[in-house]
Structure 1
Amino acid sequence: MSKTKDRSENMSFTCSYDYKMVKNITSLAGQWPYQKQRTKLLCLSLVTLSTCSIMAPQIARFVICSGDLNCILQTLAAYLLTIVTLIKLYTCYFNRYKMKILVDQLFIEWDKLKTPEEYEIMKTYAETGKRYTLRYSLCIFISAYIFCSLSLIPYIMDIILPLNNSRPILTVTPSYYFIDEREYFFYIYSHAIVAWEITVSGIVAHDCFLLTYIEHICSIFTIIGFRFEQLMYKHTDTGKILPSYSSDIYRKQIAFTVDMHQKVLKFAHLLEDVFSLSLAMQIALNTISISITLLQITQDTSDTLIVIRYIVYIAVLLLHLFCLSFEGQKLIDHSLRTRDKIYNSLWYKTSPKSQKMLLFVMQKTFQPISLSACKIYIFSMENFTTIMQTSMSYFTVLASME
């Protein structure tokens, strides 16, 4: 009972340091590890049912396509997005015990901070993660709303600038509802916009959790580098930092910092273990989606609204890949920066035994920590351009087949 109480107190402490936003976002989709089981299953079921309610009309559309390749490709891009949503959603759910470990480790690190400078470092990265979470969430939700709302423009234009014949119906996504789409348009539209916004919450929960924890890992690497830089210094009661040549002091500092470095490596590997397979499937499906959507843009140039909607869709996919690549690059840079911090410290004033410990850490940093998709694809800014080139290549192949 006391452990549960302590855990709750620690959780409140952590959430007060800018993690409350990611807690709230993940709770909406039933992804927060310490959410009540009944609430978690309710939220998870709601997102799942919303996603399946979108997929059912899309599958029906595949049936009525009757082998028409153009019709299939039009439906496939949006269908792949719903598949990605389910992948993201159940990646977190099936790895909920590992995610609990990640959350526990997060607030444990706050308790290990020694100086005001270290507190400010972690606070800065926590605030950065909060800003990224807020901006990313707003971009995704607003883009989903714009994507759906474009379907209303033909109706608005019929009121403002009526024609002899009504303008063609523009459904939110290519789908088939087994009813008259014009007569029941607003029912279909209402279902689509509500279902898509709920579905998008599953995407946002997965991504915001991942981005926040990468920022946290980067903060720990920064604190480790700061401790190595301050290796031969001590903090006085007046707040000043003075040189210290006590072998006991720097031996303890090195041992504690080396242990912290080992733990952050395990933390990073655990994070990758949770999301690696999910990210691999997402990369493959998003690359295909971008290629198919580019093909649709070249084929439907006569309808401006459809082209705009395709552009919004591609922009969201690229934003998703860019955010993951940017954070992946940041993780690589921070892990490599540790050896520079060690080199710039007063390592030459330590004992030979302590120097060997520092050398061991430097050897570890030659292999950078990265976010990967099944060890095949490394998320970095360089590979982000590779994904775009691959998508263009697939688009060229598809265009040549038409």
Structure 2
Amino acid sequence: MVLLKKVSSLFWPYQNPKIRLFCVSMITLITCSMIVPQMAKFVKCDGDLQCIFQALTAYLLTVITLVKLYTCYFNRCKYFLDEIMIDQLFVEWDDLQSPEEFEIMKKYAEKGRRYSLGYSLYCFISIYLFMSVSLVPVILDAVLPLNESRPILPAHPGYYFVDDRKYFYYILLHAVFGWKVAMTGIVAHDCMLLTYVEHVCSIFAISGFRFERLICTSTNSITILHSDTYYRKQIEFSVHTHRKALKFAQLIEDTFSLTLAIQIVLNTVMISITLLQITQKDANYLIMLRYIVYVLAQLFHLFCLSFEGQKLIDHSLQTRDMIYNCPWYEAPIKYQKMLLFVMRKSLQPIFLSAGKIFIFSLENFTSIVQTSMSYFTVLSSLE
């Protein structure tokens, strides 16, 4: 959680409202400074489809940046205003009853930290590789000069109303700073989502562990084994933990569902357009390398969301299996019936969706890739 807070320190949800508003305003201005040259590029294209598609690759990413930014800001006001309620949904270390539960929580916390670190490094490395390709012609002109200077490769598709060669380093500096801030917003949003999903999965795992050990932990004591108070307290505590996981999962769904729908549509279009740039006949190896890095980053982004969505589905369904795996037949009949209610609740999977339409899972990840390939084929036929 410390890593996540450091990455998203520009608009961490629990900052002072004035500081958070100032940070969001500054990030919006910086991101809009990237949109202005991108919009100018559209005008400069003068109806050329290939030029327009090239400008769209960067423009859609800035739009996604703003979508993610305002998701963190406005949904903080809508859903996370009551921090006491949110704290009640978290399972604290003091709530754990055994060393095994402590290890489960520690394992998922470590996974969240590791996933956030890996995702952050991949995203920042990808964006720097994308922009650093523009330095290759400049370096080659210095090392292996030709009779004439090599064509300048812009840091990103955009028109700055000045001579690109004369002001190359100023444009590059602006692009590096702007995209660094934009990528920080993307990483903060996604790492926050990944961390929340991992915590929900840990709550499901602890709940399932408690149900699974409901009878096993009492076999050494006949008195406790036949105690109604014991079964009532243990089942009550396990059900409460399970309900906490369900409420937290529903809160995540309500918070991110709409914006994820916008992102999934834009990502599908972006992948199709990026593939189109790679297959252009007049594209040199530098442009191809740049857009290969870009499309791999987009696929990695979708895969991470789909992977976490699949984990949420699997963990929500495993509770029923853990209940069935415990020696439930040794419990009194009335408590066996209580376990049936929990199993019935676990028959319906909990999922992370985009607009209640697209469910993030590994199976649907392949369908998104296939859809993007279909759009890519259609766009290729238009040229």
Q: Write out aligned runs for 1:56-205 (5 A).
A: 56-97=36-77, 98-99=79-80, 101=83, 104-105=87-88, 107-205=90-188
SS at match of 2:7: helix
Q: Which amino acid counterpart does residue 195 of structure 1 have in structure 2? A: G
**Structure 2 unaligned blocks of 5 or more:** none
Q: Write out aligned runs for 1:192-341 (5 A).
A: 192-234=175-217, 244-245=224-225, 246-300=227-281, 302-341=283-322
Q: Which amino acid counterpart does residue 263 of structure 2 have in structure 1? A: Q
What is residue 41 of structure 1 aligned with on the other side?
A: 21
Distance 1:383 1:105 in 2: 33
Q: Which segment is superposed worse, 86-95 or 35-44?
A: 35-44
Q: Which amino acid counterpart does residue 310 of structure 1 have in structure 2? A: Y
CA deviations on 1:294-346 (whole Å, 9 max, x unpaired) are 11111155411110010011011001000000111111111111111000112
Distance 1:133 1:231 in 2: 34
Sort the Cα spacing of 1:166 and 1:241 in 2 relative to 1 into closer, same or farther, 3 A: farther
Q: Which amino acid counterpart does residue 157 of structure 1 have in structure 2? A: L
Q: Which amino acid counterpart does residue 195 of structure 2 have in structure 1? A: T
Distance 1:39 1:355 in 2: 53
The offset of 1:86, in angstroms, is 0.3
Alignment check: 8 A CA contact 2:64 2:263 kept? yes
The offset of 1:213, in angstroms, is 0.7
**Structure 1 unaligned blocks of 5 or more:** 1-18
Q: Which amino acid counterpart does residue 247 of structure 2 have in structure 1? A: K
Q: Which amino acid counterpart does residue 290 of structure 2 have in structure 1? A: R
The offset of 1:92, in angstroms, is 1.1
The offset of 1:106, in angstroms, is 5.5
Normalised to the residue count of structure 1, the TM-score between the two structures is: 0.91
CA deviations on 1:102-155 (whole Å, 9 max, x unpaired) are 852464543321112111111110011000001100111111111111111100
Sort the Cα spacing of 1:301 and 1:120 in 2 relative to 1 into closer, same or farther, 3 A: farther
Q: Which amino acid counterpart does residue 205 of structure 1 have in structure 2? A: A
Q: Does 1:27 align with 2:9?
A: yes
Distance 1:103 1:325 in 2: 25
Sort the Cα spacing of 1:300 and 1:42 in 2 relative to 1 into closer, same or farther, 3 A: farther
CA deviations on 1:5-50 (whole Å, 9 max, x unpaired) are xxxxxxxxxxxxxx1111222223x1x2221223222322232122
Alignment check: 8 A CA contact 1:50 1:198 kept? yes
Distance 1:234 1:306 in 2: 62
Distance 1:153 1:103 in 2: 49
Alignment check: 8 A CA contact 1:247 1:350 kept? no
Distance 2:239 2:184 in 1: 39
Distance 1:242 1:379 in 2: 45
Normalised to the residue count of structure 2, the TM-score between the two structures is: 0.95
What is residue 51 of structure 1 aligned with on the other side?
A: 31
Q: Which amino acid counterpart does residue 252 of structure 1 have in structure 2? A: K
Alignment check: 8 A CA contact 2:214 2:326 kept? yes
Q: Does 1:343 align with 2:317?
A: no
CA deviations on 1:341-360 (whole Å, 9 max, x unpaired) are 00011211222221121111
Sort the Cα spacing of 1:175 and 1:323 in 2 relative to 1 into closer, same or farther, 3 A: same
CA deviations on 1:260-286 (whole Å, 9 max, x unpaired) are 212211110110100001111100000
The offset of 1:65, in angstroms, is 1.4
User: Structure 1: which 4+ aligned runs deviate by more than 4 Å?
Assistant: 100-103, 240-243
Alignment check: 8 A CA contact 1:300 1:306 kept? no
Q: Which amino acid counterpart does residue 348 of structure 2 have in structure 1? A: Q
SS at match of 1:95: helix
The offset of 1:233, in angstroms, is 4.2
Q: Which amino acid counterpart does residue 336 of structure 2 have in structure 1? A: Q
Sort the Cα spacing of 1:301 and 1:251 in 2 relative to 1 into closer, same or farther, 3 A: farther
Alignment check: 8 A CA contact 1:325 1:381 kept? yes
Alignment check: 8 A CA contact 2:268 2:371 kept? yes
Distance 1:149 1:255 in 2: 57
Distance 2:375 2:88 in 1: 42
Alignment check: 8 A CA contact 1:106 1:216 kept? no
Q: What is the number of equivalent residue pairs in this alignment?
A: 378
Q: For the aligned residues, what is the CA RMSD?
A: 1.7
Distance 1:108 1:362 in 2: 22
The offset of 1:208, in angstroms, is 0.2
What is residue 362 of structure 2 aligned with on the other side?
A: 381
Alignment check: 8 A CA contact 1:27 1:40 kept? no
Q: Which amino acid counterpart does residue 295 of structure 2 have in structure 1? A: I
Distance 1:105 1:125 in 2: 19
Sort the Cα spacing of 1:107 and 1:66 in 2 relative to 1 into closer, same or farther, 3 A: same
